[in-house]
Copies of this chain bind each other. A is one copy, B any other.
């Protein structure tokens, strides 16, 4: 008897860190995950990859504003082909914190991320990566 896994020619492939950084620079939409007091949360953001940090803008009143205070976070981008069953993802693990440096804030207002959503999005949050990993997967079941 052959099982599905014996036919399986799909595989994970690590994406080198340099390529992960290129992917981060090439995209503008990702997801932030952290531990809120009532459990883990994942929320999408539009971001810029700016001076090796991931920067996004948010409202001082929304759920993401809690990241103004130094918080451990995960940040993820991916591209998934549900039909083709292939895709890649980049996972950044690091620390989020509100941007307070005046020089950086001036640059960010000028060149930083443009949020899609309405409202007063005056709070800039920057994620400083500690680890950046990525992997690609392609499925090829021969059932």
Contact = CB atoms under 8 A, between A and B. Distances in A.
Interface string A26-66: 01110101110011111110100000000000000000000
Contact of A33 (B46, B72, B74, B137): B74
A119 B76 contact: no
A128 interface: no
Contacts of A27: 82
Contact of A82 (B11, B29, B74): B29
Nearest to A86: B116
B5 A120 contact: yes
A89 B8 contact: no
A11 to B, nearest CB: 5
A118 interface: yes
B74 A39 contact: yes
Contact of A10 (B9, B34, B118): B118
B39 A93 contact: yes
A76 B10 contact: no
Interface of A: 5, 8-12, 27-29, 31, 33-35, 38-44, 46, 72-76, 78, 80, 82, 85-87, 89, 91, 93, 114-121, 137-139, 141
19 contacts: A5-B119, A5-B120, A8-B119, A10-B116, A11-B117, A12-B117, A29-B80, A29-B87, A31-B76, A33-B33, A39-B93, A42-B42, A42-B91, A43-B91, A44-B76, A44-B78, A44-B87, A44-B89, A85-B116
